Structure 1
Amino acid sequence: MQYVIHDQVILSRAPEGPLATHLVPFADALSAQGYSGQLLKVQVRIAACFSRWLKQKGVVGARNICLEHATQYLRYRARHVRACLNDRAALRHLIDFLRSEGVIPVEKTVTRRVPPTEVCAQAYAEYLRDAQALAGVTIIYYVAFVRDFLHHCFGDGKVALSRLRAPDVVSFVQLNARRLHLKRAKLMTTALRSFFRYARYRGDVTLDLAAAVPVVANWSMPSIPRAISADQTRQLLASIDRHTTVGRRNYAILLLLARLGLRAGEVAFLELDDIDWRAGQLSVRGKSGQRNELPLSAEVGKAIAAYLQHGRPPSASRRVFLSARAPIKGLGPVSVSSIVRRSLLGAGVDSPTTGAHQFRHGLATQMLSHGASLSEIGEVLGHRNPQTTQIYSKVDIKALRTLALPWPGGVR
Structure 2
Amino acid sequence: MLEHHFRSLKAIDRVRAQWLGPQIERYVQSLDELHTSNATVRQHIRALGHFNDFVIARGVTKLEALPDHVDAFVEYWHAGHAGWCKNNQDRAAVTAQSRVPVERMLCLALPDYTRPNNRPAMPFANTVPGFLPFLNDEKGLRQESQQRYLYTLRPFEAYLNRGGIALSGLEPAHISRFLEERAKTLHKAGMRDTAGALRIFLRYLHREGIVATDLVRSVPRGRIYRQASIPRAIGWQDVERLLASIDRRSILGKRDYAILTLLASYGLRAREIAALCLDDFDWTHAQISIPMCHLSPYRSQHFSAFRSH
Q: TM-score, normalised by structure 1?
A: 0.37
* Structure whose CA Rg is larger: 1
TM superposition score normalised by structure 2: 0.45
